[in-house]
């Protein structure tokens, strides 16, 4: 999975955990605030500009077609540009005074000014809510690696803190989830807790190689690197950490389909240059896996 395709992760998780949600039909009108707060910034700003443009255009054409605005500085015909200009000054409550409303236009300009005040208030509140959301920036490796760890078979993946601040009391939960279909047509979910060694890190500064050792009694006991990808389920990792700079605890997650498991090892990230100092780490290196094929190792960062 590509790091930026978080929407696919969410769809994959919902399909496994709660396929019933597809029948709730909770759209924008049912949960407007949540949709507006969780939109991406480009989409949110584009939607804001479009809404402002739509309202000002409608009122601008109304003033022009009804001939309900007059020029204060000269006598002449009103153009559509005068209507749009007066509409903009009305919705922003600027009011330069060079154009005035007459007749029913006064009522329309009053309504537009009230809408402008409400629009500015709503935009400010939503922007503040979006800015105030505490978010950590964590990158999960694309693949889960099947390898040996301390003499035992294990599943490993890398988690990287992409910000310069430290996270205190970082904790990871790791699960394998399956949907089991019953003979009567219903289904049930099975959650298997995959214990980590260790499950926490006191201070998470940069990178964490997360390890689940496959021990006796575990779900994947006796399975090898070829059997696990055929398990027909998904892996879920839930990360929690306290951000000192934001003064808040944040949570994020990642999901992998079972066929993301490959046999290999995770290479070391810190590479030193000729002067002995660490060199810059390219982003794609965070997803690299040393794969094994025909007894030889080769680097791979793709599924």
Residues 127, 142: one domain? no
The answer to whether position 6 is within a domain reads: no
Q: Say yes or no to pLDDT of 159 above 90.
A: yes
Distance of CA 57 to the CA centre of its chain: 33
Q: Is residue 13 part of a domain?
A: no
**Within this chain, do residues 61 and 85 fall inside the same structural domain, yes or no?**
yes
Residue 11 resides in a domain: no
- pTM, entire model: 0.71
Q: Are strands 207-213 and 200-204 parallel, antiparallel or unpaired?
A: unpaired
**Digit-coded pLDDT (tens) for 38-63:** 888 899 999 999 999 999 999 999 99
Say if 8 falls within a structural domain: no
**What is the CATH number for 100?**
1.10.287.70
170 and 282, same domain (yes or no): yes
Exposure string over 104-139, b if 16+ CB within 10 A, otherwise e? ebeebbeebbeebeebeeebeebeeeeeeeeebebb
CATH number of the domain that residue 225 is part of: 2.60.40.1400
Residue 40 phi, psi dihedral angles, 5° rounding = -65, 155
Which residue range forms the structural domain that includes residue 40? 32-131
Give the mean pLDDT of 107-112: 95
Instruction: Examine the pLDDT at 22 and tell me if it is beyond 90.
Output: no
Segment 169-185, tens digit of pLDDT: 999 999 998 877 777 77
125 and 157 co-located in one domain? no
Q: Which of 20, 36, 16 is nearest to 28 (CA)?
A: 36
Last residue of a domain, one of 82, 106, 131: 131
């Amino acid at each position: 999975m590509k790091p930026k395709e978080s929407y696919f992760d969410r769809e994959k998780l919902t399909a496994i955990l709660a396929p019933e949600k597809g029948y709730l039909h909770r759209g924008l009108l049912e949960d407007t605030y949540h949709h507006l707060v969780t939109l991406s910034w480009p989409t949110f700003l584009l939607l804001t500009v479009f809404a402002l443009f739509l309202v000002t255009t409608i009122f601008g054409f109304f003033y022009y077609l009804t001939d309900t605005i007059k020029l204060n500085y000269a006598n002449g015909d009103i153009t559509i540009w005068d209507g749009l200009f007066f509409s903009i000054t009305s919705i922003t409550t600027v009011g330069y005074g060079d154009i005035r409303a007459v007749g029913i236009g006064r009522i329309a300009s009053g309504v537009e000014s009230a809408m402008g005040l409400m629009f500015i208030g709503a935009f400010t509140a939503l922007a503040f809510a979006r800015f105030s959301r505490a978010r950590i920036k964590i990158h999960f490796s694309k693949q889960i690696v099947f390898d040996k760890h301390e003499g035992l078979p294990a599943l490993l993946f890398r988690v990287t803190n992409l910000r310069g601040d430290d996270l205190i009391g970082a904790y990871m939960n790791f699960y394998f989830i399956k949907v089991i279909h019953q003979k009567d047509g219903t289904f049930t979910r099975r959650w298997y807790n995959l214990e980590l060694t260790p499950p926490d890190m006191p201070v998470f500064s940069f990178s964490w190689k997360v390890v689940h050792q496959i021990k006796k009694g575990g779900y994947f006991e006796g399975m090898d690197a070829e059997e696990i990808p055929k398990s027909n389920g998904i892996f879920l990792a839930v990360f929690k950490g306290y951000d000192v700079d934001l003064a808040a605890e944040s949570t994020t997650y990642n999901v992998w389909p079972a066929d993301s498991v490959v046999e290999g090892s995770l290479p070391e990230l810190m590479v030193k240059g000729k002067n002995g100092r660490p060199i810059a780490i390219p982003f794609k290196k965070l997803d690299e896996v040393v794969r094994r094929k025909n007894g030889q190792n080769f680097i791979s960062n793709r599924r």
